[in-house]
A and B are shown apart, each in its own frame.
Chain A
Amino acid sequence: MSFINYSSREINCKIVYYGPGLCGKTTNLQYIYNKTNPETKGKLISLSTETDRTLFFDFLPLSLGEIRGFKTRFHLYTVPGQVFYDASRKLILKGVDGVVFVADSQVERMEANMESLENLRGNLGEQGYDFDRIPAVVQYNKRDLPNAVSAEELRKVLNPRRLPEYSAVAPTGVGVFDTLKAVAKLVLTELKKGG
């Protein structure tokens, strides 16, 4: 749910990175944080465990520039991917404007990907959103690993909706900004329709 402020001429949108544990959601945000100008970003907040696993969420505010005199700001969130943090994941989806589903390309994570995608659909539904209608993109991460499943197979299983999809290697930034731009565009296009 975007927040439009006519007085300060700002528009704020919320994007959530979703996906199974250790698929690279936080790494996406860290790469974006490291590669953006200090004046366009806020602090990267990570609520994580001592072993650097996301406990509640990561948060990164980002300014993209102006559209028709309105400053556009995107708030990027990740969810904790581990299965038992489901209650927290549901909370973070509240008020979401766009979703990035980050899939782990490794063959042994296929089941976790599928489970997480189903979980996303269910949790969105609980918040009153329909996954088939909300602006969303899919990122196939970890494409550099030797045990990566072919993109075609990933598509068949994880992207039957034919959402915009991107191959990525998040630690080196491959596909990270393409993914972000794609989802931001979809969100703005939805706003244009009157969201």
Chain B
Amino acid sequence: MGTQLVMYEEEFTKINSVCDRLTKDANAKLVFLVDKNGQLISATGQTTNLDTTSLASLTAGNVAAMGGLAKLIGENEFPNQFHEGARDSLYMTIVGTRVVLVIIFDNRSSLGLVRLRSKKASDELNRIFDSLIRKADLPGIGSPFAEITDDDIDNLFSE
């Protein structure tokens, strides 16, 4: 099995604050961070009325498909993608090896500004994820599920 992604309070707060700051610095409508397998990690900005779970899953699908295309032409991956809409546009950039930073913006911002600000945020996020991975590797930090019983699992399905 692959390595689990485990998120702790300390890193979660830091990640949210980086995303929050990026939303403001880039004049973005919203910023979210998704793990490459489609799990939403953070969403900041105008997230009300937005189906962030689906957004996360489709982002991962898109990045995976583009990664597949990249490999076919001999590239490792396409780290940045830009999709321009009539009103809103979307920029995504791969952070480290396992997460994707997505920025949605309108004409109050520009691709140049978004690229510039997201580069800085990516570097910060990279450092946070590195420390997260190191933390998860420490002995003594196990799965919170190690102590669950078969009854706990059965109870989920009892209704």
Which of A21-29, A155-163, A165-173, A184-192 contacts its partner?
Answer: A184-192
Residues of B within 8 A of A45 (CB): 54, 57-58
The secondary structure that dominates the B interface is mixed
Q: Residue B89 at the A interface, CB < 8 A?
A: no
B37 touches A59 (CB 8 A): no
Q: Residue A145 at the B interface, CB < 8 A?
A: no
- With beta carbons under 8 angstroms apart, the residue of B7, B9, B64, B148 that contacts A94 is B64
Q: Please, what's the 1-or-0 string for B61-104, where 1 marks a CB less than 8 Å from any CB in chain A? A: 10011011000000000000000000000000000000000000
**Which B-chain residue is minimally distant from A14 (CB atoms)?**
B37
**Interface hits, B1-51 → A, CB 8 Å:** 1-9, 12-13, 35-39, 41, 51
A192 touches B39 (CB 8 A): no
A5 touches B12 (CB 8 A): yes
CA distance A56 to B60 in the complex (A): 12
- Known contacts A1-B3, A95-B37: does B156 contact A64 (CB below 8 Å)? yes
The secondary structure that dominates the A interface is mixed
CA distance A6 to B145 in the complex (A): 12
Q: Residue A4 at the B interface, CB < 8 A?
A: yes
Residues of B within 8 A of A4 (CB): 4-7, 143-145
A67 touches B156 (CB 8 A): yes
How many residues on chain A are close to B (CB under 8 Å)? 50
- Taking the nearest CB of chain A, how far is it from the CB of B158, in angstroms? 9
CA distance A88 to B65 in the complex (A): 7
Q: Please, what's the 1-or-0 string for A172-195, where 1 marks a CB less than 8 Å from any CB in chain B? A: 000000000100110011111111
**Interface hits, A85-124 → B, CB 8 Å:** 87-88, 90-92, 94-95, 97
- Taking the nearest CB of chain A, how far is it from the CB of B99, in angstroms? 11
A194 touches B146 (CB 8 A): yes
A1 touches B65 (CB 8 A): no
CA distance A88 to B67 in the complex (A): 11
Residues of A within 8 A of B9 (CB): 6-7
- Known contacts A4-B144, A61-B53, A194-B142: does B64 contact A91 (CB below 8 Å)? yes
**Interface hits, A29-69 → B, CB 8 Å:** 42-43, 45, 47, 56-57, 59, 61, 64-65, 67-68
- Known contacts A6-B6, A43-B54: does B38 contact A68 (CB below 8 Å)? no
- With beta carbons under 8 angstroms apart, the residue of A7, A12, A97, A193 that contacts B8 is A7
**A contact residues vs B (CB 8 Å cutoff):** 1-8, 11-12, 14, 42-43, 45, 47, 56-57, 59, 61, 64-65, 67-68, 70, 72, 75, 87-88, 90-92, 94-95, 97, 127-129, 133-134, 181, 184-185, 188-195
